[in-house]
Amino acid sequence: MAAFTAAEAIEMAMEIELNGKQFYLAAAQKSIDPDVKALFEDLANQEQGHYHVFQGMLGGVQTAPEQVAEEYDQYQTYMKVALENALFAGPDKALALAEDAEERETALRAAIGFEKDTLLFFYDVRDMVNEADRETISKIIREEKKHLRQLTNLL
């Protein structure tokens, strides 16, 4: 049995997208480079759009497996902490780096790091879900790769 379903992965993706939007808005506000600022504002809008796309995907994937309430609560807490630490928390992670995103290269490298962490997370998620749900996770990966390409092109 898979560790969790695509429905749960999509819910995590939605949280990542909201945090990504927050990161890009913070970095855009700090950036003194007009091209970087414009790209980050656009990416913030795309993150919001992806949130809605992923929200729409929820109806077409399997629901979470039945678990004992206590186990599920512990599992959810674990995933939340893992997401926060892997993608957003710590001195070398996206939200912390957004604070120092005035310079073009710093801002772009912070965003690239965020997108790479996001992609790595979703590649792992894809391996954990049921076979039938893997294409849904692949769709999420393709959406995130678009962001990475835009950032590396500007760098």
96-111 pLDDT tens trace: 666 666 678 888 888 8
> In which residue ranges of the chain is pLDDT below 50?
1
- What span, in angstroms and rounded, lies between the C-alpha atoms of 126 and 135? 8
pLDDT value at residue 97: 64
Cα–Cα dist 109/91, whole Å? 14
In a domain, 107, yes or no: yes
Range of the domain at 23: 6-154
Which pair of tokens denotes residue 38?
A: 């414009």
* Total-model pTM: 0.74
Q: Does some domain include residue 21? A: yes
CATH number at residue 50: 1.20.1260.10
3: enclosing H helix or E strand: none
Residues 95, 114 contacting (CB under 8 angstroms):
no
DSSP state, residue 88: I
For residue 61, tell me if it sits in a domain: yes
Task: Give me the pLDDT at residue 153, please.
Answer: 94
1 is a domain residue: no
Looking at residue 155, its pLDDT comes to 87
Residue 72 belongs to some domain of the structure: yes
Asked whether residue 77 is assigned to any structural domain, the reply reads yes
What lies within 8 Å, CB to CB, of 81 at 6+ separation is: none
Please name the residue ranges forming H helices in the chain: 6-30, 34-57, 69-83, 94-98, 104-128, 134-154
Has residue 93 been placed in a domain?
yes
Number of domains in the chain: 1
Is residue 135 domain-resident? yes
